[in-house]
Amino acid sequence: MSQITIRGGRKLEGTVQVQGAKNSVLPILAATILHPGQVVLRGCPRLSDVEASIQILRHLGCTARWEGGELLVDTSTMSRWDIPDNLMREMRSSVIFLGAILARLGWAEMSYPGGCELGPRPIDMHLSALRKLGADLREEGGRLRCTAQHMTGREIALSIPSVGATENAILAACGAEGETVLVNAAREPEIRDLQEFLCAIGCKVRGAGSSTICISGRQKTHDAVHTVMPDRIVGATYLAAVAAAGGVVELKNVNYRHLSTVTAALHEAGCKISGGDGRILLKAEGRLGSAGTVRTAPYPGFPTDAQAILMAALLKSQGTTVFVETIFENRYRHVDELHRMGADISIADRVAIVTGVPRLYGAEVRATDLRGGAALLVAGLAAEGVTRIGDVHHIQRGYEDPVRDLAALGADIVWE
């Protein structure tokens, strides 16, 4: 399946079930290492990033197998502490295994992680947090060699609320003696889900969802079952798709609160939205209006992962919307592709100004990264004629089957 073909112009109608969250399940898969036994993950999305995490677990000597929609992981047979370069390059989240392996074994070895090219994505805060807990980290021949025989809990203040550094610090702190207090922690819902998983296996973590998280390390763990939270960015993508194409769609398995900044922007642009109790209903008619100024920010601000997706929904709006990307330096790579479809977007540094055009045209485009690729799906649904999206492996990192879901809503879309 090397490309997705969309014939735009059809309205969307119906109900769609949102998958479990990629950004929640990836740190949870790393966290399974903290318990030398079995865990069952329900609602685990089938994604290439999840497969990459499974490969890492298997390389480490653990077992992981699918049973229907559940993933069963057993780390009692874990026998290695190193992650080879090819698995590290697959995705950035592989670095979260560092904190978990250190907590379990006291040493770990890996290279620097890969992932979407969104500008420089250093891991200095991850490493500094682990060092504060007592880990000795050395770089030798492009590899990170880490030993942490006696990690001790203490206060760690992050200079910015990095999602990944918060997760790595929590996992390492689970293996440290005594209490760790993480200050200026990221408040993303996925961190709360990680806390719920950790508590389910017997770790003591509290405060996730706020900016101070407390971890009491070295607790006795046990087998557990955990249901992965809904993917708020996939939810945002389907909302943007209906906003762009027009129609009425109900999303199931969503948390309305997690999407409040996205729904506020879509409401500002003229969509009718209601929700609660795991559902969101969105109705869009005619051309949208401006969404004003959309500034990405750490949660509970507007998610950087939804920036490209919302931008794509507004390409045919009547008015001008200003995007300010404050999290990543290079997150407008999708814009050149949207230009091919007739979009009017100008960029100056971290600001993108979208001026709505009456028509978009189908074109041959390329997914530049995961969410940029999702933006092309949204734009393709609103364009006249045929859009062919290449490099769809970027999209498959985070979406189980967007073709299945959008086709079920009435879109003319196929894998080729």
Which of 19, 53, 75, 93 contacts ligand UD1 by CB under 6 A?
Answer: 93
- Least Cβ distance, residue 405 to ligand UD1 (angstroms): 20
SS3 of 324, please? strand
User: Does 26 participate in binding ligand UD1 (rule CB under 6 A)?
Assistant: yes
Give the tokens for residue 115: 């992932």
Q: Which of 62, 116, 174, 271 is catalytic?
A: 116
Q: Which is nearer to ligand UD1, 10 or 131 (CB)?
A: 131
User: Does 75 participate in binding ligand UD1 (rule CB under 6 A)?
Assistant: no
Residue nearest to ligand UD1 (CB): 164
User: Does 160 participate in binding ligand UD1 (rule CB under 6 A)?
Assistant: yes
How big is the site for ligand UD1, counted in residues (CB under 6 A)? 21
Q: Which is nearer to ligand UD1, 31 or 288 (CB)?
A: 31
Which of 19, 162, 180, 387 contacts ligand UD1 by CB under 6 A?
Answer: 162
User: Does 258 participate in binding ligand UD1 (rule CB under 6 A)?
Assistant: no
Interface with ligand UD1 by CB under 6 A: which range of 157-165, 207-215, 254-262, 406-414? 157-165
User: Does 305 participate in binding ligand UD1 (rule CB under 6 A)?
Assistant: yes
Closest CA to 106 of 136, 63, 67, 144: 136
Tell me if residue 116 is catalytic: yes
Neighbours of 61 (CB within 10 A): 13
- Least Cβ distance, residue 237 to ligand UD1 (angstroms): 13
User: Does 304 participate in binding ligand UD1 (rule CB under 6 A)?
Assistant: yes
Q: Which is nearer to ligand UD1, 6 or 375 (CB)?
A: 375
Interface with ligand UD1 by CB under 6 A: which range of 160-168, 177-185, 211-219, 251-259? 160-168
Within 269-410, residue ranges assigned H as helices are 307-313, 334-340, 370-382, 393-396, 402-408
User: Does 122 participate in binding ligand UD1 (rule CB under 6 A)?
Assistant: yes
User: Does 125 participate in binding ligand UD1 (rule CB under 6 A)?
Assistant: yes
Neighbours of 347 (CB within 10 A): 13
**Rounded distance, CA 347 to CA 44, Å?**
37
Contact between 239 and 269 under an 8 Å Cβ cutoff? The reply is no
**Rounded distance, CA 107 to CA 258, Å?**
36
Closest CA to 23 of 96, 85, 104: 96
- Least Cβ distance, residue 125 to ligand UD1 (angstroms): 3
- Least Cβ distance, residue 166 to ligand UD1 (angstroms): 8
- Least Cβ distance, residue 113 to ligand UD1 (angstroms): 9
Which of 35, 92, 104, 397 contacts ligand UD1 by CB under 6 A?
Answer: 92
User: Can you list the pairs that 333-336 forms with residues at least 24 positions away whose Cβ atoms lie under 8 Å?
Assistant: 333/117, 333/368, 333/369, 333/372, 334/308, 334/368, 334/369, 334/371, 334/372, 334/373, 334/375, 334/376, 335/311, 336/368
**Rounded distance, CA 309 to CA 357, Å?**
17
Give me the residue label for tokens 């530049």.
Answer: 368
Q: Which is nearer to ligand UD1, 6 or 88 (CB)?
A: 88
**Rounded distance, CA 70 to CA 68, Å?**
5
User: Does 123 participate in binding ligand UD1 (rule CB under 6 A)?
Assistant: yes
User: Does 165 participate in binding ligand UD1 (rule CB under 6 A)?
Assistant: yes
- 23 secondary structure, DSSP code: H
Helix (H) or strand (E) holding 264: helix 260-268
Q: Which is nearer to ligand UD1, 110 or 163 (CB)?
A: 163
Give the active site residues: 116
- Residues forming contacts to ligand UD1 in the complex (CB under 6 A) are 23, 26, 92-93, 120-126, 160, 162-165, 186, 304-305, 327-328
